[in-house]
Chain A
Amino acid sequence: MSAFAAMLAVFRKEFRENLRDRRAVIAALIMGPLLGPLVFASALSLSIERNTDEGGHVVTLAVVHGERASNLLDYARQYGIQTEAVTYDDASAQRAVSQQRYFMVLSVDGDFSSRLESGQPAPLTLYADASDSSHARDVSRVRAVLAQYGSVLARMRAIARGMDPLVLTPVVVHDVDVSTPASRSVVALGTFSYLVLLAMLMGGMYLAIDATAGERERGSLEPLLTVPVKREHLIYGKILATCAFMTVSLVLTLTAFAIALRFVDLERFGMSVNFGPLVGLEVLLCCLPLVPLGAALMTVVASFTRTYREAQTYLGLILLIPTLPLVFASVLGLRPTAALMTIPSLSQHFLMTSLLRDEAIPASFLGLSVGVTLALGAGLMFIAGRLYHREALLG
């Protein structure tokens, strides 16, 4: 019997059996492909909304003893800051912020007006939670308005004393922001790559476990090893079936992304808006070389484990592996180089990103990514084949 026929027989059986396994099907066809794009698209939409509705947004500030600084509060109201009078002491003000009754409490100290009148620094106390990122924008807006009020007063004092208010502005800084919408979307694109790669790996995970640790646990491995087929051909057939599940997952995920992203205003994130069939196909082709590598990696790891549960634990960790390069890439702001294109998952991330940004990437980079990833996959498949020759396999 030819090696190919044997692998095909194993492939067919694993594919068919796992299509009947609810857990494998849910992971491959539903979890990754649907959840990823859905979460991604709704997170993007939310963040776009938050960025856009900033202008007309009214901020409510809790104020203790507002009567001591009525001019200040009038000034703040002109800039869209509503005030609400509260009666807190120091401790209860802190509690109110930490329990999120108010995101910010402003307390006007007793000697505020007397010190203001005598030209001394007049104290205000501001309670805010620096770790509450959802209100960070509002907090900085309030601070800016307070600082602005201060500088207006300073200028008026200077004029009253016959000074040119310009002396109070010795330095002027001009900000030139060269970031493009594309470069600001590093995090969003990193998330996209990760969700695609995660869904792809997850699609094959249960099959990889079932075909190795599961097979051994059920006691069907030993009979299988008594058929006249070389052990490496058995495992290659299983890896191929894992690849098939992963490919199906990948295609579904990209299709779902293409549909979900039509409902998101992508231009803000600098993605090429037509994430249409062609870009989708190109992204698919970039990711495909990673399929055998992922399948072989999961199979090798699952072959070492004794039980289904143990395999599940280890493969859960494997799912994190593709995140590591992506995290480094976004934290360090890495740009594609020849050396980096030899790192699987990172190189696919770069390829996907440049496709989505509609940027050109050198053909040599593409070649490196495809070549190295395929070679590593082949190497791992060979190792998986060798592992199946160990006698310890039977347990």
Chain B
Amino acid sequence: MIDATHLKKHFGAVAAVRDVSVRAQDGHITGLLGPNGAGKSTTLRILYTVLKPDSGDAIVDGVSAMRDPLEVRRRIGVLPHSAGIYQNLTARENIAYFAALHGMSRTDAQTRTRELIQLLEMDEFADRISKGFSQGQKIKTALARALVHRPRNVLLDEPTNGLDVMAVRSLRRLLMRLRDEGHCVLLSSHVMQEIGALCDQVVVVAHGTVVATGSPDEIRGTTGEANLEDAFVKLIGSGEGLA
């Protein structure tokens, strides 16, 4: 469960996030929807504690990201926008490295890595050096790495970027499975279909502020538009940055 209230973040003179509040519940997939530059990534970076907000706070399972970022990191699994992996390590070693950094024992890490390799259908390339991995294989490795410590909350920044249809579908299945297991899943996207097909809750962000919150149906209802994309355009006031 993630509860962020009135986040604010400036970079020099630029206000990246003016006022964003997000609540993502367990057993739900929550989508952060907005055009490029709306402040989605900055919001997520604050939630996964690599940035400190100027004001506001994010509470993850009752722990404040401002006061105890290390404890928050134990409770979250993160797939950042640039989810680079180590090219001179195999997929399995990439995952094991993060298991070690999460303080997992060697045997626990091995079991869990095997589990994830199976779950994400990575057997074929798990023991290959990552140099030359396809985008899909890279994302799978990064995703397994993010889930290795069995986090209750999963944050993903535009996870479907650069994936082909098959990979997107299998990612979607995985996220739904996590939701059904009771995880709190929060992802950002600027792709309308993805949000519509996947999310139980949507937070629409534009120019660093939240312009609407609700289920996809509710958002269609409040804007009076039958189509989510039209509703979105109406909310942010322009068609800029849509995919």
Q: In the complex, A227→B103 CA distance in Å? A: 10
Which listed residue, B45, B97, B103, touches A13 by the CB 8 Å rule? Answer: B97
Q: In the complex, A362→B56 CA distance in Å? A: 60
Does B37 have its Cβ within 8 Å of any Cβ on chain A? no
Does A57 have its Cβ within 8 Å of any Cβ on chain B? no
**A324-364 contacts to B (CB < 8 Å):** none
Q: Contact: B86 with A220, CB < 8 Å?
A: yes
Contact with A along B72-114 (1 / 0, CB 8 A): 0110101111111111110001000110111100000000000
Does B142 have its Cβ within 8 Å of any Cβ on chain A? yes
Contact with A along B141-182 (1 / 0, CB 8 A): 010011000000000000000000000000000000000000
Q: Contact: B84 with A228, CB < 8 Å?
A: no
Q: Contact: B84 with A220, CB < 8 Å?
A: yes
Q: Contact: B101 with A222, CB < 8 Å?
A: no
Which residue of A has the minimal Cβ distance to B79?
Answer: A223
Q: Contact: B51 with A1, CB < 8 Å?
A: no
Q: In the complex, A175→B230 CA distance in Å? A: 100
Does B70 have its Cβ within 8 Å of any Cβ on chain A? yes
Which listed residue, B50, B71, B129, B142, touches A228 by the CB 8 Å rule? Answer: B71
Contacts of A221 in B (CB 8 A): 84
Q: How many residues of A contact B (CB 8 A)?
A: 28
Which listed residue, B51, B76, B85, touches A391 by the CB 8 Å rule? Answer: B51
Which listed residue, A1, A13, A226, touches B50 by the CB 8 Å rule? Answer: A226
Does B183 have its Cβ within 8 Å of any Cβ on chain A? no
Q: Contact: B103 with A1, CB < 8 Å?
A: yes
Q: Contact: A21 with B88, CB < 8 Å?
A: yes
Does B52 have its Cβ within 8 Å of any Cβ on chain A? yes
**A1-49 contacts to B (CB < 8 Å):** 1, 5-6, 9-10, 12-13, 16-18, 20-21
Give chain A nearest CB distance to B69 CB in angstroms: 9
Does B48 have its Cβ within 8 Å of any Cβ on chain A? yes
Which listed residue, A20, A218, A220, A223, touches B146 by the CB 8 Å rule? Answer: A223
Which residue of A has the minimal Cβ distance to B52?
Answer: A391
Q: In the complex, A16→B87 CA distance in Å? A: 12
Give chain A nearest CB distance to B28 CB in angstroms: 21
Q: In the complex, A21→B87 CA distance in Å? A: 10
Given A10-B101, A223-B83, A226-B80: A394 touches B50 (CB 8 Å cut-off): yes
Contacts of B87 in A (CB 8 A): 218
Contacts of A58 in B (CB 8 A): none
Which residue of B has the minimal Cβ distance to A218?
Answer: B84
Q: Contact: A9 with B51, CB < 8 Å?
A: no
Q: Contact: B82 with A226, CB < 8 Å?
A: no
Does A230 have its Cβ within 8 Å of any Cβ on chain B? yes
Q: Contact: B48 with A20, CB < 8 Å?
A: no
Q: In the complex, A79→B169 CA distance in Å? A: 94
Q: In the complex, A221→B83 CA distance in Å? A: 9
Q: Contact: A225 with B88, CB < 8 Å?
A: no
Q: Contact: A228 with B74, CB < 8 Å?
A: yes
Give chain A nearest CB distance to B142 CB in angstroms: 7
Q: In the complex, A394→B51 CA distance in Å? A: 9
Give chain B nearest CB distance to A360 CB in angstroms: 47
Contacts of A219 in B (CB 8 A): 80, 82-84
Contacts of B88 in A (CB 8 A): 17-18, 20-21
Contact with B along A197-241 (1 / 0, CB 8 A): 000000000000000000100111111111111100000000000
Does B49 have its Cβ within 8 Å of any Cβ on chain A? yes
Given A9-B97, A13-B97: A223 touches B71 (CB 8 Å cut-off): no
Given A21-B88, A219-B83: A226 touches B103 (CB 8 Å cut-off): no
Q: Contact: B98 with A227, CB < 8 Å?
A: yes
Q: Contact: A220 with B85, CB < 8 Å?
A: yes
Which listed residue, B80, B89, B129, B145, touches A222 by the CB 8 Å rule? Answer: B80
Q: Contact: B101 with A223, CB < 8 Å?
A: no
Q: In the complex, A162→B166 CA distance in Å? A: 116
Q: Contact: A223 with B84, CB < 8 Å?
A: yes
Give chain A nearest CB distance to B200 CB in angstroms: 24
Given A9-B97, A219-B84: A227 touches B89 (CB 8 Å cut-off): no
Given A13-B86, A218-B87, A223-B78: A228 touches B146 (CB 8 Å cut-off): no
Contacts of A228 in B (CB 8 A): 70-71, 73-74, 101-103
Known: A223-B142, A223-B145, A228-B73; 11 extra A-B contacts, CB below 8 A, are A1-B101, A1-B103, A13-B93, A16-B89, A17-B86, A18-B88, A222-B50, A222-B81, A228-B74, A391-B52, A394-B51
28 contacts between A and B (CB under 8 A): A1-B101, A1-B103, A9-B97, A9-B100, A13-B93, A17-B86, A17-B88, A20-B89, A218-B87, A219-B80, A219-B82, A219-B84, A220-B84, A221-B84, A223-B79, A223-B80, A223-B83, A223-B84, A224-B101, A226-B49, A226-B78, A227-B73, A227-B101, A228-B70, A228-B103, A229-B70, A391-B50, A394-B51
Residues of A within 8 A of B (CB): 1, 5-6, 9-10, 12-13, 16-18, 20-21, 215, 218-230, 391, 394
- What 8 A-B pairs have minimum CB-CB distances, sorted nearest first? A219-B84, A219-B82, A1-B103, A220-B84, A9-B100, A218-B84, A227-B101, A228-B73
